[in-house]
Amino acid sequence: MRTRLQIGWTPAEPTPLDEAVDDQIRRARALLEGCRIVALTGAGISTDSGIPDYRSPGAPTRTPMTLEMFLSSPEFRRHYWARNHLGWRHMDGAEPNIAHRALTDLQRQGRLTGVITQNVDMLHTKAGTRRVLELHGCYGRVRCLGCDWLISRHRLAEHLEGLNDRFSERVRGRGAIEVAPDADAAVDDTSDFTMIDCPNCGGIVKPDIVYFGESVPKPTVEQAFSMLDDADALLVVGSSLTVMSGLRFARHAHRTGKRLVIVNRGATRADDLADLKIDHLASVVLPALAA
């Protein structure tokens, strides 16, 4: 299906790159000089790739998917999958921006040891970064909650397209569709959409993504702490650190005496812990750090 998609928001205008920001970037270079850096990234690094976020200045108020909502009823899951069937290709078609590529450059220079990302968009991998730990999973896999059966999102889309020709044609006739940060398309009438259950056990299938209300798997958390313990500095990029899944790493870095540099538009919950906070776009600051 080739449905035209549109982003439902306009990012806030960036803070001008003035002398004060230039000075902060120089200070960040000095703080990170000679350090083995681990980056912790959030949605703010991907906004320049056309993927809106939930909390940056100018972003509209949205309600993210929760596990309770997803499990609440078969009707809600059908509605969710219908919207996702239309919207996920927007995320799949997104390309890494200059901030993602700057982290890859830092890694090629031997300065960045890995990335811990809260994003599910796979853009770090597309940018060629190695040792990327996806805290919240990724959009490209779908998993059965009963038996752990796994299928790629591309393969599932092929199955769903064959079952939903009329739905796709009807929606395609509407023109552009608004897409939210989690690839959820704004479509209200989804009563004619058909979703599949797990062909292995008949269980509920769900994107391999940690929803709000879920916990990050313990082995993933342990691996993230191990990556941080092997580094000298934590570079937080594009995350407000609102949820504990990211905040705990900033707190751990501070507690263990590691350098903590934050690059984010707007306040974060770890601003008071940081050695340096730069309130600016990742696509401006990171290339300067990698230069």
Which CATH number covers residue 126?
A: 3.40.50.1220
State the pLDDT confidence band at 265, using cuts at 50, 70 and 90: very high
Report d(CA 163, CA 123) in Å as an integer: 30
249 is a domain residue: yes
Give the residue from 153, 176, 209 where a domain finishes: 209
Same domain, 179 and 277: no
Place of tokens 């730069």: 278
Report d(CA 260, CA 253) in Å as an integer: 7
Same domain, 154 and 89: yes
From 27-36, 115-124, 177-186, 200-209, the region with the lowest mean pLDDT? 177-186
SS3 letters across 97-141? CHHHHHHHHHHHCCCEEEEEECCCCCHHHHCCCCCEEECCEEEEE
**What is the SS3 assignment for 145?**
coil
28 Cβ partners below 8 Å, 6+ apart? 261, 263, 276, 278, 285, 289
Same domain, 194 and 239: no
**Residue-wise pLDDT tens digits, 60-81:** 555 677 899 999 999 999 989 9
**Residue-wise pLDDT tens digits, 249-261:** 999 999 999 999 9
The catalytic site residues sit at 136
* pTM (two decimals): 0.87
Report d(CA 155, CA 270) in Å as an integer: 40
DSSP 93: H
Domain that holds residue 72: 62-93+138-209
Give the residue from 192, 209, 226 where a domain finishes: 209
Residue 2 has pLDDT above 80, yes or no: no
On whether the CB atoms of residues 236 and 264 are closer than 8 A, the answer is yes
Total domains present in the chain: 2
Give the residue from 209, 239, 256 where a domain finishes: 209
Is 138 annotated to bind a ligand? Reply is no
